[in-house]
A and B are shown apart, each in its own frame.
Chain A
Amino acid sequence: MSGSGVPERSLVSGWGRAAPTVARITKVTSLDKLEQFVLDHSRGGNLLARGLGRSYGDAAQCAGGDLVDCTGCNRIIDVDSSNAVVRAEAGVDLATLLREIVPQGLFVPVTPGTKWVTLGGAVAADVHGKNHHRDGAIGSAIEGLVLVTVDGRREIGPQREPELFWATVGGMGLTGVIGEASLRLIPIETAFMRVDTHRVDDLDACMSLLSEGDTKYRYSVAWLDAAASGVKLGRAVVTQGDHALVSDLSGPTVEALSYEPPRSIGISFEVPGSLVNSMTTAIFNELWFRKAPKARQGELQTFDAFFYPLDRVASWNRIYGPHGFTQYQFVVPFESADAVRSVIERIQDFGVSPSLAVLKRFGESDPAPLSFPMPGWTLALDVPLGKPGLSTLFDELDLLVAQSGGRVYLAKDGRLRPSLLSSMYPRIESWRETRRLADPDGRFASDLSRRLNLAGTHSAAPA
C-alpha cells in the first residue's frame, strides 16, 4: 500500500509514564512515506506525529487515533559548514546530529536537557536551553521547515508563510508533521565547556548569581534542592559556562573536537514501587548538595556532563514506578519573582518533595504564539504522581502562576486547568486561526489538544 510499516495498536504515554492511551502506531522511514501516510489518514479520525516521546505529559499521544513514528525519517541531508547550517529529516535525534557536526566544529544553537529528542519534536515544543537568556529558543534558529500538511508538502520559514511557520514552532504538532528542518548552527573550537560552579545557600543568593551571570556567561542554570525549607529554601548549585576555546585546553593529548558520548546505564526492568519518595529525595539532595564545590572556576566539562547529566541513565523515568511522575514547569515575569518562592513553599506545605528542581532566567520570546519562554524566571519541578490531593495542589499553583502573569509549559503538562489557557497564552486565538487554515477538519489532534481544547473547537470528539 503506502510502504509504511504495519500499524500496531499499543498503549502510549509520555515520559512521565502516566495516563496512557491506546493508538495505532506506524513507523515511516522517508519523507515520501510520511507524505503518503498523512494523505491516507486525512479523511477521518485523528493523527499526530511522535518522535522520541520526551514530552512529559500527553502531547505525543493520540487516543483512538493514528500516531506516525517519525524516528526512522532521520537522514542528515547536508551540513553546510561554511554557512553553519544543517539540513536534516526531522526524525533525526540531537545525539546523532551532534556526532555528525561536532567534529566539524559546529554545535546546536539550542539544546534541551536531553539529547534524545527529535529535531521535529524540538521545534514543535520550541525547546529552550541553558542559553535562552542569550540565544532564545530553537525556533529562532530555524531557517526553514518542510511541513507535511493535509494538503501535502509545504516549505515554510520566517520569510515564507511566516504565520504558518510560527504556528508550527511551538505548535505541538497540530499544524501538520514536520518532515525536514534547516537549522543554523554555532561555531565551536572544542568539544568542551569551561564551567564555573557555585553553591549558594538560599533562593535570593541563587537569583542574584543567575542575574549577574546573564551578561557574563552564555549558558547558565541552577539546580535547586527543593526539599530545603525555611532559611535554606532555594539552596542550589549554580552552573554557568561557555564553549571552551582551544587556548583553554591544557593537556597535549586532547583532541579538541573529539566527541565520544558516554555509554548509558539502562533501567530496562519495571520498578514495582517508586524509588523516589520524600526520604530518598532528601537523602539524595543532601549528598549531592554537599558534594558540589562551594566554588570552582574554569573547570573543563564534556558536553554530556554539562548539558546531559540525566541522559547518563537511560529510561531513568522508570524509577518512579507504576504511578509515574509529572513535571511542573512554569515561567513568571521578573517582577513576579516572589511567585517562585511561593510555589516552592506551597509544594513543601502540601508535603511532597520534587525530586528535581531547575531554575533559570529567560530572555526575549520569539514570535511563536504558543511558545512557552517569556522574559522572566522559569522553574521546572519533577513530582511523583499517586499522592491524593496533587490535582488540587497543581490547580492552586496554576492560579498563582496565571495571577503572576506567567504560564505553564505545554510540553511538560499533563493536567493544566483548561480555563486558564487563554490567559496564559493570550495569542492563542490567532494561533487557532492559522491552524484552522492549515487543518480545517481538525485531523491533527493529540490527547493534550483535546484535553485543553487547544484547537478551540469545544469538542473532544475525534473529527
Chain B
Amino acid sequence: MNDVTGMPQNVVVLGGSSDLARAVLRDLSARRLEHVLLAGRTPAALEVVAKELRELGAARVDTMAFDAREAATHNALADEASGRLGSVDLVIVAAGVLGTSELDDLDPAQVADEITTNFTGLAAAMIAFSRVMRRQGFGRIVVLSSAAAVRVRRANFVYGAAKAGLDGFSQGLGDALRGTGVEVIVVRPGWVKTKMTEGRPKMPLATTPSAVAEAIVKALETGEEVVWVPNVLRFVMPIVPHVPRRIWSRLPS
C-alpha cells in the first residue's frame, strides 16, 4: 500500500538496471520498501542491481524478464507482478536506450527499435500496469521522461522524439486515470551522468542520479505531478519552444 505520506511498500521497475531507478530504490529502502521486482531484458545487469539493493537489507528484491518491444506479453507480466507482490504500489518506468542520431549511422530497423523501446513499448506496458492498478483500486506510475521531451534537438532527435511521445502519453494517461485512485508522475531530468550517457559530452544544467532520486521521493510525498530536475528547468524550459527554428536547428550536438 501507499501510506498517507506517499511512501510505497512494493515497487516494480521497468528497466530494472537503470541507474536512476537504482538511486530511487536506494532512497526508498530507508522508508517502507518491502518487495521490489526489477524487470528488464538483461538478466545479468538486473542481478547486479538486485544484489546491491539486497545488501541494504530492507526489501526482498526479485527480477523478471521484460522486453518493452513485446507488447503482447505486457498484460501477463503485469498480472504476474501483481500476484508476486500482492499489491503494485509503484511502477517506475525507467527503461531507455540512447542510440545514435548521426544521419549516416541511422538504420530504419534500429530507429524503429529504439523508438519502440523508449516510447511505444513502454506506453503499452503502462496500459497493462494501469489496468492492474485500477483493479486494485490505487497505485502510482513514475515515468522517467526528459527535459529533451520539451523540444527535440538535432543532437539526439531519435531519443528526444521518443521521450516527447512518452511524455505526452504519460500526461494523457494521467488525465484519463483521474478518479480511479491511480496517478502518473512525469519526471523530466536534464542531462544526467549515467551508464546511458557514458562517453557523451556533459550538457549545461546537468544533474545526478541521486538528485533525481531525491526529487522523485519528494514528489511522492508532495503529490507533484510534473517533476523537473534540476528544479530551475521548470522556469527555463517554457522558453524553449519559442526559440526560432533558425537558431534551434543549429545547436551543436
Contact = CB atoms under 8 A, between A and B. Distances in A.
Interface stretch (A247-255, A276-284, A382-390): A382-390
Contacts of B181: 11, 20-22, 63
B32 A414 contact: no
Interface in A7-62: 11, 16, 18-23, 57-58
B3 A63 contact: no
Contacts of A18: 4
A22 B182 CA distance: 9
Contacts of B135: 64
B223 interface: yes
A56 to B, nearest CB: 9
B3 A23 contact: no
Interface stretch (A91-99, A104-112, A322-330, A343-351): A322-330
Interface in B170-186: 179-181
A85 B225 CA distance: 53
Given A21-B181, A22-B180, A415 B9 contact: no
Contact of A391 (B9, B31, B138): B31
Given A22-B180, A63-B1, A391 B85 contact: no
A324 B3 CA distance: 13
Given A58-B4, A386-B222, A418-B32, A21 B9 contact: no
A63 B137 contact: yes
A460 B221 contact: no
Given A386-B222, A418-B32, A460-B86, A451 B137 contact: no
A459 to B, nearest CB: 5
Contacts of A387: 221-222
A450 interface: yes
B138 A414 contact: no
Contacts of A386: 221-223
A316 B152 CA distance: 48
Given A22-B181, A63-B137, A63-B181, A460 B4 contact: no
Contacts of B179: 11
Interface residues of A, number: 38
Contact of B1 (A16, A395, A450): A450
Interface in B4-25: 4-7, 9-10
Interface string B115-141: 000000000000000000011111000
A394 interface: yes
Interface string A409-438: 000001101100000000000000000000
Interface string B29-69: 00110100000000000000000000000000000000000
Given A22-B181, A460-B10, A388 B221 contact: yes
B218 interface: yes
B136 A63 contact: yes
Nearest to B181: A22
A447 interface: yes
B210 interface: no
A19 B3 contact: yes
A414 B223 contact: no
Nearest to A325: B4
A391 B138 CA distance: 20
B86 A461 contact: yes
Contacts of A23: 137
Contact of A64 (B4, B5, B83, B137): B137
B5 A58 contact: no
A387 B6 CA distance: 11
A303 B223 CA distance: 40
Interface string B74-113: 0000000001011100000000000000000000000000
Contact of A447 (B1, B83, B221, B223): B1
A64 B220 CA distance: 21
A131 B86 CA distance: 42
Contacts of A324: 4
A11 B86 CA distance: 20
A387 B85 CA distance: 29
Contacts of B86: 450, 459-461
B138 A22 contact: yes
Contact of B223 (A16, A64, A65, A323): A323
Interface string A320-358: 001110100000000000000000000000000000000
Given A65-B137, A386-B222, A462-B136, 17 more contacts: A11-B181, A19-B1, A19-B2, A21-B181, A22-B138, A57-B4, A63-B137, A64-B138, A323-B222, A387-B222, A388-B218, A388-B221, A391-B31, A391-B221, A415-B7, A450-B87, A461-B87
11 contacts: A19-B138, A21-B137, A63-B1, A64-B135, A64-B138, A386-B223, A390-B5, A391-B5, A391-B7, A415-B7, A460-B1
Interface of B: 1-7, 9-10, 31-32, 34, 83, 85-87, 134-138, 179-181, 218, 221-223
Q: State the 4 A-B residue pairs at the shortest beta-carbon distance, nearest first.
A: A414-B4, A461-B86, A460-B86, A391-B5
